Amino acid sequence: MVARSSRDTQRRNWRHHGRECGTSDQSWRGLHRCERRGVETQTGPRRSRVAALCTLFGAFALIAPFNAVTSFAAPAINAAETAANFEAALNAYQDGKPLQALSLAKTSARAGNSDAAVLAGHILRKGEAGSVNLTEARKWFEQGALKGHPDALVALGEMGLLQQAGLSHKDSLSYLLRAAESGRTDAMRALADMYRTGQGTQVNKAESEFWLRKAAQSFDSKGAKALGDSLFETDPEAALAAYEQAANAGDIEAAYIAGVMYAENYDIRPNEQKSVNWLRMAAEGGHPAAMADYGLLVYQGVASKPSQKEAAAWFQKSAQKGDSEGQFLYAFTLAKGEGVTQNFEEAYFWVLKSIKSAETIQGSDLYDKDRETLRTGLEGRLSPETLSRVKARL
The backbone torsions φ and ψ at residue 354, rounded to the nearest 5 degrees and listed phi first, read: -65, -45
Which amino acid is it at 313?
A
Residue 368 has a pLDDT of 80
Angle, to 10 degrees, between the axis of helix 221-231 and the axis of helix 205-217?
Answer: 140
Q: Which fold has domain 6-31+232-393?
A: 1.25.40
Look at residue 65 and tell me whether its pLDDT is greater than 80. Answer: no
Residue 339, sorted as left (phi over 0), alpha (psi -120 to 50) or beta, turns out to be left
Question: What does the chain come to in residues?
Answer: 394
pTM, full prediction: 0.73
Residue percentage of the chain with pLDDT more than 90: 73
Give the model's confidence band at 58: pLDDT under 50 very low, under 70 low, under 90 confident, else very high.
very low
- Tell me the average pLDDT across 278-289: 97
Helix/strand/coil (H, E, C) string of 288-318? HHHHHHHHHHHHHCCCCCCCHHHHHHHHHHH
Give the model's confidence band at 187: pLDDT under 50 very low, under 70 low, under 90 confident, else very high.
very high
Q: From CA 329, how far away is CA 350, in angstroms rounded?
A: 9
Give the tens place of pLDDT for each residue, 91-146: 999 999 999 999 999 999 999 999 999 999 999 999 999 999 999 999 999 999 99
Q: From CA 42, how far away is CA 40, in angstroms rounded?
A: 6
List all residues 6 or more positions away from 11 whose beta carbon is below 8 Å from its beta carbon. 264, 366
- Whether 6-31+232-393 and 48-216 share one fold: the answer is yes
List all residues 6 or more positions away from 69 whose beta carbon is below 8 Å from its beta carbon. 46, 47, 50
Between 98 and 369, where is the model more confident?
Answer: 98
Residue 322 has a pLDDT of 95
What are the structural domain ranges in the chain?
6-31+232-393, 48-216
Give the tens place of pLDDT for each residue, 220-272: 999 999 999 999 999 999 999 999 999 999 999 999 999 999 998 677 889 99
Residue 42 has a pLDDT of 37
Which amino acid is it at 26?
Q
Q: What is the mean pLDDT of the chain?
A: 83
Q: Of 125, 128, 117, 123, which is closest to residue 151 (Cα–Cα)? A: 117
Residue 39 has a pLDDT of 42
Contact present, 153 and 146 (Cβ < 8 Å): no
Give the model's confidence band at 303: pLDDT under 50 very low, under 70 low, under 90 confident, else very high.
confident
Residue 77 has a pLDDT of 53
Residue 366 has a pLDDT of 60
Q: From CA 354, how far away is CA 16, in angstroms rounded?
A: 14
Q: From CA 370, how far away is CA 360, in angstroms rounded?
A: 17
Contact present, 13 and 325 (Cβ < 8 Å): yes
Look at residue 69 and tell me whether its pLDDT is greater than 80. Answer: no
Residue percentage of the chain with pLDDT more than 70: 78
Look at residue 49 and tell me whether its pLDDT is greater than 90. Answer: no
For 48-216, the fitting CATH number among 1.10.3720.10, 1.25.40.10, 1.10.1510.10, 3.30.300.30 is 1.25.40.10
Give the model's confidence band at 189: pLDDT under 50 very low, under 70 low, under 90 confident, else very high.
very high
Q: Of 58, 34, 115, which is closest to residue 82 (Cα–Cα)? A: 115
Residue 80 has a pLDDT of 86
194-to-14, 77, 137, 227 alpha-carbon distances in Å: 26, 41, 23, 14
Which H or E run contains 127? none
Which H or E run contains 203? none
- Tell me the average pLDDT across 180-192: 97
Residue 359 has a pLDDT of 83
Give the model's confidence band at 297: pLDDT under 50 very low, under 70 low, under 90 confident, else very high.
very high
Burial class (CB in 10 A: 0-12, 13-18, 19+), 183: middle
